[in-house]
DNA sequence: TCGGATTAGTAAAACGTTACACTAGAGGCA
DNA sequence: TGCCTCTAGTGTAACGTTTTACTAATCCGA
């Protein structure tokens, strides 16, 4: 690897001057500036980030801590984060906690050792772990708000309302709720947005809460089989909806002929299951990009509000809901 | 952040001694060793990786360069890589090239600047880019062999053969091939394994090659619609198979009543589409873990062969193939 | 022409760690 | 006792970069 020293030697100036040129400082003349730049290019100079990091305390790397790459929401997010980060010259260090707080803590420790400049984080568990004290680099949360931190996520209440409006419009008056984990605000708001948008028209025949990974518990299975008067099942996300559909058809219940169903997230697979799933689309790419931008702003010293950045969602009407 | 200096001051020894203790060197007595260790714990010492990197030239970080996180094979792989890396104390730096050689080159440059100790890589494009010269850190390829590099992947020939055996057993004698991109060995071998396992029994009614992302081109669409005498469609991977199924049912062709179909990869969604897809399962987690282990071996100086590590695959029989 | 301000460039310290070369003392042995 | 070998520990240079404090030269205005 060529270093500033090599460039300095090649051009015949001091390393300080090389550094000054490379960092765009004004105190160096045109001709030497050009010489240095050309030598740098010719020698294929790549800055040694470790040395820079040691001197400046900034690594130009950020952490991305996710609970579960297996949920298709997250790869899409990761892709967006990585790409916009790369365009800013930031390296993305990945931690997949597999939903375990312990793994998350380990990953965090690793990120701290490597002194990442910031962390984009979708936390597991209801509260922030204790290792988040003042010395920690800036954190931007994704999807799961915690007091004191900026967070970016979709307008889940709006999503719930859109679904409610749509359900109403399609003539459904009695629904079953297969909500996500109610300790997560994102799941709660989807549900609440839906429920609150029906002043009194609605009847909730039953409500069961399951994990976002779409693994249905016994209670959910039971609710699906004898589904009461519900003509529409509102699932907490697409994974849940798809699992539920699978379970229904296996019990000989047809979708949407016998019962309608909606999802949330608009993952790729909503379009290939049968019937294609009606759902709410989140702008995942925009969310990831925004998180990186916030991060970058905080890293470069701007004081950004520790509030929320919320993205609109849209209804994607497909084939899993029929008029009642 | 506490440094070795702080520990040295706290215990009353030199920084050299602290370093010696922390690195498990033998030249320090029991009592001081314990004192240092306790002080380190008490002060919450975390080594400064940047400083270590500068001194030793090793960062304890590895790069993971993938073509497309949107293909479910890769998140699963990434999860496995990240987890086994983390257990070895290695940080994973992610690059998603989105299938573009340019993005891959950018990501590579970033990884080089950060001086990762090794790169686990699933390359796009048929040949290795020019920036791979001798100074590069050790590379372990995933899934796509290139001369001179170790690679770990599944036994695609075996997968093809398993499918051929199965097709034969189920009475199919005429197939359509919806192969993956034939410039990729992984796609080619799946196809060849299949074709070669039928000495002369088989008839290949038609063959079209499409991308692994499952986006069907016009030729593929046409082949699917008038499918000739083929009673079985052998798709290059699950994404292709699922797209094809979707296309077939939209044309009023029933699966598997009118035509059978198989996939490859056994991604999660093979189990939720209708009908559930018969496919070949790859041990993705094992592949990821093995890649990290090879990497680690090479990093610690072991000379590993630049050959192949190949994993057995298995047939997962579900509902998309019917007896002919 | 004087002297202050500006411009162009440099020397060297510092970041936190490791590793080499070294020393002081203890122990062993003839 | 004298000499050699261990053991336990230390001092310090070095890694590549940035940055502060500094100098030398030039410029400008009066």
pLDDT per position as a tens digit, A243-259: 999 899 889 999 999 99
Per-residue pLDDT of chain A (324 residues; tens, 9 = 90+): 899 999 999 999 999 999 999 999 999 999 999 999 999 999 999 999 999 999 999 999 999 999 999 999 999 999 999 999 999 999 999 999 999 999 999 999 899 989 999 999 999 876 777 677 666 889 999 999 988 889 999 999 999 999 999 999 999 999 999 999 999 999 999 999 999 987 677 789 999 999 999 999 999 999 998 888 899 999 999 999 999 998 998 899 999 999 999 999 999 889 888 899 999 999 999 999 999 999 999 887 777 777 899 999 999 999 999 998
**Cα–Cα dist B268/B287, whole Å:** 17
**Could you tell me where the DSSP H helices lie in A12-155?**
15-22, 30-43, 49-56, 73-87, 101-113
pLDDT per position as a tens digit, B239-249: 999 999 989 98
CATH number at residue B38: 1.10.260.40
Do B16 and B104 sit in the same domain of this protein? no
* Cβ <8 Å between B48 and A94: no
Identify which of A54, A114, A273 has the shortest CB distance to residue B61: A114
In a domain, A134, yes or no: yes
* Cβ <8 Å between A112 and B46: yes
Do A95 and A202 sit in the same domain of this protein? no
**Cα–Cα dist B163/B314, whole Å:** 10
**Cα–Cα dist B295/A215, whole Å:** 34
Whole-model pTM? 0.91
Do B165 and B200 sit in the same domain of this protein? yes
Identify which of A47, A115, A245 has the shortest CB distance to residue B49: A115
Do A198 and A270 sit in the same domain of this protein? yes
pLDDT per position as a tens digit, A148-188: 889 999 999 999 999 999 999 999 999 999 999 999 999 99
Which of the nucleotides in strand D have any atom less than 7 Å away from a protein CB atom? 7-12, 14-21
Q: Please give the residue range of the domain that contains residue B11.
A: 4-47
Distances from the Cα of B297 to the Cα of A130, B116, B137, B200, angstroms = 35, 15, 13, 45
Contacts of B6 (CB under 8 A, 6+ apart): B43, B45
Angle at B144 between CA B142 and CA B148, to 5 degrees: 90
Among A33, A108, A20, smallest CA distance to A63 is for A108
Per-residue pLDDT of chain B (324 residues; tens, 9 = 90+): 899 999 999 999 999 999 999 999 999 999 999 999 999 999 999 999 999 999 999 999 999 999 999 999 999 999 999 999 999 999 999 999 999 999 999 999 899 989 999 999 999 876 677 666 666 889 999 999 988 889 999 999 999 999 999 999 999 999 999 999 999 999 999 999 999 987 677 789 999 999 999 999 999 999 998 888 899 999 999 999 999 998 998 899 999 999 999 999 999 889 888 899 999 999 999 999 999 999 999 887 777 777 899 999 999 999 999 998
In a domain, B263, yes or no: yes
In a domain, A318, yes or no: no
In a domain, A324, yes or no: no
For strand A91-96 and strand A61-66, is the pairing parallel, antiparallel, or unpaired?
Answer: parallel
Do A116 and A80 sit in the same domain of this protein? yes
Checking each nucleotide's C1' against the CA of A23, the nearest proves to be D18
In a domain, B54, yes or no: no
Contact B212, B257 (CB under 8 A): no
Q: Which one-letter DSSP state was computed for residue A269?
A: G
pLDDT per position as a tens digit, B95-105: 999 999 999 99
Identify which of B75, B112, B273 has the shortest CB distance to residue A69: B75
Looking at the 3D structure of chain B, how many domains does it have?
A: 3
In a domain, B34, yes or no: yes
pLDDT of residue B304: 74
Do B143 and B194 sit in the same domain of this protein? no
Quickly count: other Cβ atoms within 10 Å of residue B58's Cβ.
Answer: 17
Token pair of B196, please? 């070669």
Q: What is the DSSP code string of B134-198?
A: TTSPPEEEESS--TTS-EEEE-HHHHHHHHHHHHHHTT--EEEEEE--TTSHHHHHHHHHHHHT-
Contact A186, A160 (CB under 8 A): no
Q: How far is A202 from chain B (nearest CA, A)?
A: 30
Interface test with A, best of B86, B109, B243, B318 (most A CBs within 10 A): B86
Q: How far is A110 from chain B (nearest CA, A)?
A: 7
Do A170 and A218 sit in the same domain of this protein? yes
In a domain, B101, yes or no: yes
Q: How far is B59 from chain A (nearest CA, A)?
A: 8
* Cβ <8 Å between A79 and B86: no
Burial of A143 (0-12, 13-18, 19+ CB in 10 A): buried
| Nucleic strand D under 7 Å from the C-beta of B226 | no
| Nucleic strand D under 7 Å from the C-beta of A300 | no
Phi, psi of B26 (to 5 degrees): -80, -10
Distances from the Cα of B124 to the Cα of A246, B96, B104, B143, angstroms = 35, 11, 8, 11
Do A65 and A84 sit in the same domain of this protein? yes
Do B288 and B143 sit in the same domain of this protein? yes
Do A277 and A294 sit in the same domain of this protein? no
* Cβ <8 Å between B113 and A274: no
**Cα–Cα dist A45/A41, whole Å:** 6
| Residues pairing with A262 in the sheet | A234, A278
Do A187 and A274 sit in the same domain of this protein? yes
Quickly count: other Cβ atoms within 10 Å of residue B232's Cβ.
Answer: 26
Identify which of A50, A114, A242 has the shortest CB distance to residue B272: A242
Distances from the Cα of B322 to the Cα of B136, B171, B239, B244, B259, angstroms = 51, 9, 20, 17, 8
**Could you tell me where the DSSP H helices lie in B170-283?**
185-196, 218-225, 238-250
Q: How far is A197 from chain B (nearest CA, A)?
A: 31
In a domain, B317, yes or no: no
pLDDT of residue A134: 61
Contact A314, A284 (CB under 8 A): no
Do B182 and B262 sit in the same domain of this protein? yes
pLDDT of residue B150: 93
Contacts of A4 (CB under 8 A, 6+ apart): A15, A18, A19, A22, A45
CATH number at residue B250: 3.40.50.2300
* Cβ <8 Å between B115 and A47: no
Among A94, A188, A1, smallest CA distance to B115 is for A1
Give B1 CA → D20 C1' in Å: 24
Ramachandran area for residue A19 (φ above 0: left; ψ -120 to 50: alpha; else beta): alpha
Token pair of B51, please? 């400083």
């Amino acid at each position: 690897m060529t270093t500033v020293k090599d460039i300095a030697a090649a051009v015949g100036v001091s390393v300080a001057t090389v550094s000054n040129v490379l960092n765009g400082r004004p105190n160096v003349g045109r001709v030497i500036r050009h010489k240095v730049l050309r030598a740098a290019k010719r020698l294929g100079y790549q800055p040694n980030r470790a040395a820079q990091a040691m001197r400046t305390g900034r690594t130009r790397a950020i952490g991305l801590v996710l609970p579960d790459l297996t949920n298709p929401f997250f790869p899409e997010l990761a892709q967006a984060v990585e790409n916009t980060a790369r365009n800013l010259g930031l390296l993305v260090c990945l931690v997949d906690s597999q939903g375990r707080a312990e793994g998350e803590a380990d990953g965090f420790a690793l990120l701290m050792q490597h002194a990442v400049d910031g962390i984009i984080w979708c936390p597991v568990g209801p509260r922030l772990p204790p290792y988040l004290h003042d010395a920690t680099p800036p954190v931007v949360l994704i999807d799961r708000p915690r007091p004191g931190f900026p967070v970016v996520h979709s307008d889940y209440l709006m999503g719930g309302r859109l679904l409610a409006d749509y359900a109403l419009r399609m003539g459904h008056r009695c629904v079953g709720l297969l909500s996500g984990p109610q300790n997560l605000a994102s799941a709660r708001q989807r549900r609440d947005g839906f429920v609150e948008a029906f002043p009194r028209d609605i009847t909730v025949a039953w409500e069961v809460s399951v994990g976002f990974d779409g693994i249905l518990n016994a209670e959910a299975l039971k609710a699906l089989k004898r589904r009461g008067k519900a003509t529409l099942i509102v699932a907490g996300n697409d994974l849940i909806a798809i699992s539920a559909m699978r379970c229904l058809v296996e019990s000989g219940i047809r979708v949407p002929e016998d019962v309608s169903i909606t999802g949330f997230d608009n993952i790729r697979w909503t379009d290939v299951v049968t019937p294609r799933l009606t759902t709410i689309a989140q702008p995942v790419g925009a969310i990831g990009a925004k998180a990186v931008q916030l991060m970058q702003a905080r890293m470069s010293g701007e004081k950004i509000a520790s509030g929320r950045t919320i993205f609109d969602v849209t209804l994607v009407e497909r084939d899993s809901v029929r008029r009642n």
